[in-house]
Structure formats: structure tokens, C-alpha cells
Structure 1
Amino acid sequence: MKARNIHTYLLIGAIALLPGVTVAQAQSTQTAAKHSASAEGDITTVTVFGKLKPPTNSLTIDRSSASSCGFMSSSGSGSDGYVRRVIRDESDDYRFSTRSPYGDASNEYNVFYLRDRVRDGGGRSIGGGCGPADFGFAAGRAHIEARDTTMREAVDLYNAGKYPKSLAMFQKSYSKIGYHEAALMIAKMHLYGVGTEKNVPEAIRWYEKLALQPNRSSYKTTSDYMTPMVEASMTLAKIYLIGFDVPKDPKAVRKWFDRAYDVGYAPAGKTLGDMYYFGYDTPRDLGKAVKHYTDTASHGYAPAQYALANILYSGEETIKAAPKKALDWYWHAAKQKHPGATYAVARAYDLGENVKADPDRALSLYKEAAIGGDGDAQNALGTYFYNGQILPKDQVMARKWFEAAAVRGQADGMFNLGVMMMKGEGGETDHTKAYAWLTLAQKAGHPNAEAVLKILEGRMTPTEKAAAEALLAPQA
């Protein structure tokens, strides 16, 4: 099983927002359109019985759940503005126009619905969920958002470097529409002191306001897509993780990672598993770690599938070994091109563990994992070239793949590279670098490194030894 490390990073980085059309551009475009319409008259307009045909704006809403009536979202929905589409249904009965949200009174179905009939003539349930007020709210919101320019203007001001004015416009945009993106920008600007004095408590207030918005999804999904709500939750976790102008708070860290996972961010669930697995600021709890890994893995997140498989492969503490189940999880992760999982599947075919041995398929998977950056696979591929197994013998290629594995800290790769450098195989002889790589292999626990080092020392000149010691010395 390969060791895994928990990595923590502060979510700082540049704010990347696509610049919108400037106000001046929008005005000039609008003016040109008016002139064009005036000049061409009715020639270019669509008419129906002598009247202008209104836009056919409509939404797809599932009325079976009250959560579907939570239209407070910033998910785009085409010409209807930013009105929430929770669940789509192909039936026209589930569509309505934002210009007549209560339906057409001449349509008997709509009359039944507006009277909140529980069932139609065929016994089907048509009531419950969204009511007329919900439809009216959605239509009104679409009408406002279709004409709102505050978010675009705030972004334009930010890109122009007019940060105080940009902040004021983001605040106006949030108060007017409640854009999640606006709240996120306000929080960031307070966190880093952009356009205002740095104010971490105020930033935290805005992040919490956004992170604690109702999660209106009617079913749980997980992905690695970072929505504004997810980013707010993850940033809060990292603020308390490193103590960014606040005391470190492990409980708050787990709380906000848990919130990020709850609103659908799979990496947060994997991180929680890592925290319990490695005992980061909390007692190590393998049971909780496996629970988080399993839950996240079941939603298709490859790193969690790989972590769970590593535990099941040989077993740990109270978790019994289940190599067949581990291989199944490796397969799921490998299908998503996870390099470590791909290597594990390749090894199974190489050794015939719980599958029929297939050297050709193993080599193919080793290649895929090696190209993906897995150190174990890179070392394995190096041995194929070194020994001439299936592949033609090629010491130059072997040395390249051993070096690729070595720079990733793979113990066998460091040892093999050191031996080839000592012997001058696949390239020039280099006792200094060979000594350095063999020393690192020894520290990584390679069983043969110490014996080879003794042989190498007997061949080295005082100058080479001094150069090797300098190479291994900590850099100031």
C-alpha cells in the first residue's frame, strides 16, 4: 500500500472573472438596434395575426417537491435569466411561461392546477409543490434579472482596477438580486483588503452568509465542481485550518469541510476521510475515515475509491482484508484514469491476483499509469525495458523511466537509477549522483541500498565523495 499524505492549501490565488461587455458597448449596441428597427419597420419582425409575437420564455419545474420552488439561485437558464431549474421533465404539462406564470385559463389542466386540485381525471397527482405565488415569484425574478446589469458592471469595474466602486456595485448587486457570485466577491475583497480595509471577521460573515444558503437540491450529488457555496465553505475551512488572522479551530475546519461535502463537493468528503485517517487535529478514527471514503466513493469520486481500495487490499486494524472488493474499487477509479488505481489493476493482471494473468494487458495499463505520473508504474515500465520483457531491451529508456520514478520519491526507482548510474548503463557513469540516489533509496527503506553504497564508496574518489555530500546537504 502506498503512503498518502494530506495536503492543505490556502485558497488564495488570483480572482479570475471573465470581463463582460462594457456599459458603453451595451449602450452603443442598444442604440444601433433601435436605429435598425426604426429604419426597417415591420419587415424584420415576426407577426401573428397582425400582432408582434411575444418571446416564448418558459421554465421546466418539477411541482412534486416544495424544494423545487426554491428559485433563489444563480444558475443560468437562458433567456429566462437566472431562475432555478431544479429537475427537468419532458412533459409540456411541467412548463410555464414567465410572461403568464399562472397558465392559460382556457386550458382546463391549468385551471385544475391553480385550484390546487390534488388529482386530475385520470387519478394522477397534479397538486402540491409549487403554487401560484411561487410561479409569480419566479416570473418576477426572471423579469428583474433579465434587465439587471449590476453584476456585469461590478466585474467591469473590478477588471478596470476601480476596486472601491467595484465593491459597492457587488454589494448593490447582492442586495438587489442575491447573486451568489456577488457575495463571494465581497467576501474575498474583505479577506484580502481589495478596495477596502482588510477585515477578516467581515469576510467570514459574508462567507458564512453564502455557505449557509439553503441547499435546495432534492437529491445528493457530488462532483469536483466548485460552486460559490462550495468555495465559501472550503475557504472557511482553510481559514480555520491555517489560522488566517483567526485562532486555529479543528472543529470549525471539519464543520466547513462537511458543509462543502453536503452541498455536493466530493473532494471535501475525501479530505474529511483523510483527516480521520491520519488523525489531523483529532484522534485517528479508521472507522470514520472508511465511512467518509465509502460515501464519497459511492458517488464516483476516484481519489476516495482509491483510498478505500488501499485500506481493503490488505486490511487495517478492525477493517478486514478484502482484496477482491479492493480490486473492484481500483477498477472504478482506473476507469476515471486515476494513475495509482490503474497501476493497482495492472499489477493484478501482472501477478494474476483475483483475475486471470494477462501480461500484455498489464503492460498496457502500466504504460497508462506511468504516463499519468504514477511512480510505481514508471518503475515497472523501466524494468520491462531493462529486462527486455515483452518490450525490446532498451537501457536508455529504462534509465529515463527509473529517473521519472525516482524524482517522485519511489524507492525502487531511486535504487535502480543509482545502480545504472554507478555502472554507466543507459548513459554516462556518474558516481556522485549515483551515491545521492542510493542514499535517498536507503532512507526510503530499500533493503539493498546500504550494501550497494558500500561497494560504490570503494570506487569513489575524494572529490566525488565531497561533491555527493554537498549534493545531499540541506540547502540554506
Structure 2
Amino acid sequence: MTTSCRPFLSAVLASALALSPLPLAAQDAADPPPEAQDLPEMAKIEQAWNRGDFVTVRQGLKVLAEETGTALAQYRYGRILIEGRGGPRDPRGAALWLERAVEQNHAEAATLLARLYLSQVPGGPERDATRAAELLTRAATRGDAQAQYLLALLYQNGDGVKRDTDATYNWLLAAAEQRHAQAQFALAAIHLNSETGDRDEGIRWLRAAAGQGIADAQIQLATLLDTADTPVTNRAEALDWYRRAAESGHVLAQRMLGTRYLTGDGVSADPQEALRWLGQAAQAGDAGAMSNLGYAFAAGQTLPQDMTQAALWYGRAAEHGLGRAMVALARMYETGTGVTANFDTAVALYTRALETDDDALARVELGRLAAAGQLDGRVAPQRAVPWVLAALRA
């Protein structure tokens, strides 16, 4: 199966290697031999982890890894060395302990060591995608879902292995069927973004990933459901998915949800909800949300009209490089609305907007000024000609 989807591999491989408490495997819960009665117990180490006593965790795992040689202890000790809990980070030492666990066929250790070889952690081993692929293959064939997912990404990008779209799909499917959320999301992208994909399958996997809390999947599903006149259109359900993503901190979803409440699109207009969600997105640095707040205060429909606030939010969006906010703010400087009139500032903002994706809006405004002779002596006539034509077409 071919696909135009290329997940950003480095972002996945650079994700936090967090150590979380794991249940004891059956073979590790057996009574220790008499000579090992004085060794720390894994259950007590897990209790120390749960109460945040990472020094005890680290010291206990070190003893178990050195004295018992069990793969579980070696693996967990390697994890805590990577994380730097209870002491300094030691990725190179972690690699040594993980290698010992791999020698005992510990699948999760192989996966974690592969991630270490791929992520170029400072102080860790040199990047070696070929060795990582070997480790992931060992773990993936034993059913480790994380290994299956990462191996699929390597095949997709031709990193350490020859690029293979069939292997990519098969390993993603194996991981997705084990409820690996990122694999489900990647599998959905393959179906939805490729000419040979199955749209129904894509939506099924997208729902699965969204249901597991993947915010990007939630907003993509919401967008599909929000699109008019399709077999899956359901604007009420779309709103629910926007809200889930917004509540998890997804900035675009916050802007979308706030805008819906601002305009009354599919919901009753609600000024408090509009301010709540647009404000959160704006505080997170989303220029679109800032611009929408500017529009809201300028329009005075859902929110009370306040041109000073409108200019403030348009100004913040303009500082973040949003062209349409520059154009709106320029109009305010041109007319002295909400700000002290300043024609030079207005022209400067219109001109800056020419370098953005909203350059068409700026050309129309500059063409209007040029046609009225207000740019005479400020701009070369030949430069203004296309602006005037744009204004005439508009």
C-alpha cells in the first residue's frame, strides 16, 4: 500500500522515556533462593516508586540487577538510569544493562535500547538505526506493540532498513490490533491519505485512536464529522470531539471550539465559553485565536464591542506574524478606531502583510489607497499598479 503520510519520526523517538511501575511477571514473583533473602524485593521497590522515593528505587534496582541478574531488574535499572531518577542520568550505563536484559530475550529492554540508539540522547551511544532495527525486530516478533510501531516507522522512512510500504502497513496493523494508539492513528492516516486506502477503515482506526485520547486524532475526526454533506457528517458529534481535544490542551481545538461559541455555529452563542476557549488558545500563543478575539471585540455581537480591546488582540496576532490581523489593525490605524490614527503605521502594517499568507488582503487595501492617491510620494507608481488591479478585481 502506498501512502503520502510520513509521521515525524524524530518527534516520536525523542519522546520522554518515562519509567512507570510495572506489574511483576509471573516468573519474577517466585520466592527467592535462600541466599537471596536479604536482597531488596521488587514489590517494595515498586512501593517506593509509588511514593516518590526514587533514591530507594534506584539503589534497590542496582542491587537486584547486579546480584540476581534477572532480565526484569536489568531492564528496570536501565530505564531509571535513562530517566535520571534518584541520581544523575546515565544513558551509557543504561545501554549496558539493557544489553544484558536483551541477551535474556527481554522484549521491552530491546525496544527501549532501540529507542536509545535512535534518539541520540546526550551521553548515550551513537545513533545506530541498523542496530535499532535489529532490536525492534526481535521485540516486534515477540509481540511488543511499541516495537512494532517503531519498526513500522523505520520501514516507512527507510531508516536502518530498506523502505518497505508493505512492512510498514503490516507492523502498524499488528500494533494497532494491540490497541497501540499512535499506531492506530498512523494506520488511519495511511487509509485516509492514500489513493488505495479504505476510507471506512481509516475512520474506524481514527475513532480508535481518538477514543484513546490522541488529541490530533480527535481534532482530525472532528474535522471529518464537521465537513458538510458527507456520509459521516455529524456536527453534534464533531463538537464533542473538539471539546475532548480542547480539554486535553490542544490549542487548535481550543480555537475552533471558542470560535464556534463566538459565532453560534452549531451551538448557541455563548460569550463566556467563547472567551474561555479563545483565551486559552491565545495564552498558548495561537495567533488565530488572538485575531478571532480582535474580531469578536470589534464586531460587538457575542461580546460587547470594545475597539481598544480589538486593537490590542489584533496587535498581538500581528506580532505573531498573522497577516489578516495586520490588515485589520492597519485599518484601525488608518481610521483612528481604537487607536490613535497614524497613516504611516497603517501603510507599514499593510506592507508587512504582503509578506504573509494573507498578502491578497493587503494588496486590495494598498490598491485602494493608491487609487485614491494616498500613496503618492510614498511608493513607486509601478509598484502600486498590481495593487490597484487587485483592488479593482475585488
Q: Smaller-chain TM-score range? A: 0.5 to 0.7
Is the 1:276–1:289 contact (alpha carbons within 8 Å) kept by the matching residues of 2?
yes
Are 2:166 and 1:251 aligned? Answer: yes
Superposed displacement of residue 150, structure 1: 8.2
Superposed displacement of residue 415, structure 1: 3.9
Looking at structure 1, the residues matched to 275 and 124 of structure 2 have their Cα atoms a distance apart, in angstroms, of 56
Query: Would you tell me which structure has more helix in proportion to its own residues?
Result: 2
> How do 1:54-65 and structure 2 match up within 5 A?
none
1:150/1:374 Cα in 2 relative to 1: closer, same or farther (>3 Å)?
Answer: closer
Q: 1:434 aligns with which of 350, 372, 386?
A: 350
Q: Secondary structure at the match of 1:10?
A: helix
**Residue in 1 that maps onto 2:152:** 237
Q: Secondary structure at the match of 1:337?
A: coil
Are 2:266 and 1:351 aligned? Answer: no
**Matched letter for residue 435 of structure 1:** T
Looking at structure 2, the residues matched to 258 and 71 of structure 1 have their Cα atoms a distance apart, in angstroms, of 31
**Residue in 2 that maps onto 1:393:** 307
Looking at CA atoms only, which structure, 1 or 2, has the larger radius of gyration? 1
Is the 1:171–1:183 contact (alpha carbons within 8 Å) kept by the matching residues of 2?
no
1:434/1:290 Cα in 2 relative to 1: closer, same or farther (>3 Å)?
Answer: same
Are 2:209 and 1:296 aligned? Answer: yes
**Matched letter for residue 133 of structure 2:** I
**Residue in 2 that maps onto 1:132:** none
**Residue in 2 that maps onto 1:213:** 142
Looking at structure 1, the residues matched to 307 and 203 of structure 2 have their Cα atoms a distance apart, in angstroms, of 43
Q: 2:318 aligns with which of 371, 382, 403?
A: 403
Looking at structure 2, the residues matched to 357 and 289 of structure 1 have their Cα atoms a distance apart, in angstroms, of 33
1:213/1:361 Cα in 2 relative to 1: closer, same or farther (>3 Å)?
Answer: same
**Residue in 2 that maps onto 1:277:** 192
Aligned length: 331
Superposed displacement of residue 330, structure 1: 2.0
Q: 1:171 aligns with which of 99, 103, 117?
A: 99
Looking at structure 2, the residues matched to 364 and 333 of structure 1 have their Cα atoms a distance apart, in angstroms, of 15
**Residue in 1 that maps onto 2:254:** 342
> How do 1:64-463 and structure 2 match up within 5 A?
79-80=41-42, 145=70, 152=77, 169-176=97-104, 178=106, 180-181=108-109, 184-185=112-113, 188-189=116-117, 200-214=129-143, 230=146, 232-279=147-194, 283=196, 285-315=198-228, 318-386=230-298, 389-390=303-304, 392-394=306-308, 396-403=311-318, 407=321, 412-413=324-325, 415-417=327-329, 419=331, 429=345, 431-432=347-348, 434-438=350-354, 440-442=356-358, 448-455=361-368, 459=375, 460-462=378-380
Q: Secondary structure at the match of 1:370?
A: helix
**Matched letter for residue 258 of structure 2:** A
Superposed displacement of residue 381, structure 1: 0.9
Looking at structure 2, the residues matched to 191 and 398 of structure 1 have their Cα atoms a distance apart, in angstroms, of 40
List runs of 5+ in structure 2 lacking aligned partners. Answer: 30-39, 47-66, 385-394
Superposed displacement of residue 283, structure 1: 3.0
**Residue in 1 that maps onto 2:50:** none
Task: Kindly report the root-mean-square deviation, in angstroms, between the aligned alpha carbons of the 2 structures.
Answer: 4.9
Superposed displacement of residue 200, structure 1: 4.5
Is the 2:314–2:326 contact (alpha carbons within 8 Å) kept by the matching residues of 1?
no
1:315/1:212 Cα in 2 relative to 1: closer, same or farther (>3 Å)?
Answer: farther
Q: Secondary structure at the match of 2:254?
A: helix
Is the 2:71–2:104 contact (alpha carbons within 8 Å) kept by the matching residues of 1?
no
Looking at structure 2, the residues matched to 294 and 16 of structure 1 have their Cα atoms a distance apart, in angstroms, of 25
Superposed displacement of residue 187, structure 1: 6.8
1:420/1:275 Cα in 2 relative to 1: closer, same or farther (>3 Å)?
Answer: farther
Q: Which moved more, 1:143-152 or 1:288-297?
A: 143-152
Is the 2:297–2:306 contact (alpha carbons within 8 Å) kept by the matching residues of 1?
yes
1:338/1:432 Cα in 2 relative to 1: closer, same or farther (>3 Å)?
Answer: same
Superposed displacement of residue 210, structure 1: 1.7
1:442/1:380 Cα in 2 relative to 1: closer, same or farther (>3 Å)?
Answer: closer
Q: Which moved more, 1:348-357 or 1:416-425?
A: 416-425
Is the 1:306–1:330 contact (alpha carbons within 8 Å) kept by the matching residues of 2?
yes
**Residue in 1 that maps onto 2:8:** 8
**Matched letter for residue 453 of structure 1:** L
Superposed displacement of residue 378, structure 1: 2.0
1:332/1:441 Cα in 2 relative to 1: closer, same or farther (>3 Å)?
Answer: same
Is the 2:221–2:238 contact (alpha carbons within 8 Å) kept by the matching residues of 1?
yes
1:167/1:153 Cα in 2 relative to 1: closer, same or farther (>3 Å)?
Answer: closer
Is the 1:71–1:83 contact (alpha carbons within 8 Å) kept by the matching residues of 2?
no
Superposed displacement of residue 305, structure 1: 1.9
1:454/1:166 Cα in 2 relative to 1: closer, same or farther (>3 Å)?
Answer: same
Looking at structure 2, the residues matched to 308 and 150 of structure 1 have their Cα atoms a distance apart, in angstroms, of 37
1:331/1:173 Cα in 2 relative to 1: closer, same or farther (>3 Å)?
Answer: closer
Looking at structure 1, the residues matched to 249 and 72 of structure 2 have their Cα atoms a distance apart, in angstroms, of 44
1:333/1:190 Cα in 2 relative to 1: closer, same or farther (>3 Å)?
Answer: closer
1:83/1:237 Cα in 2 relative to 1: closer, same or farther (>3 Å)?
Answer: farther
Superposed displacement of residue 203, structure 1: 2.9
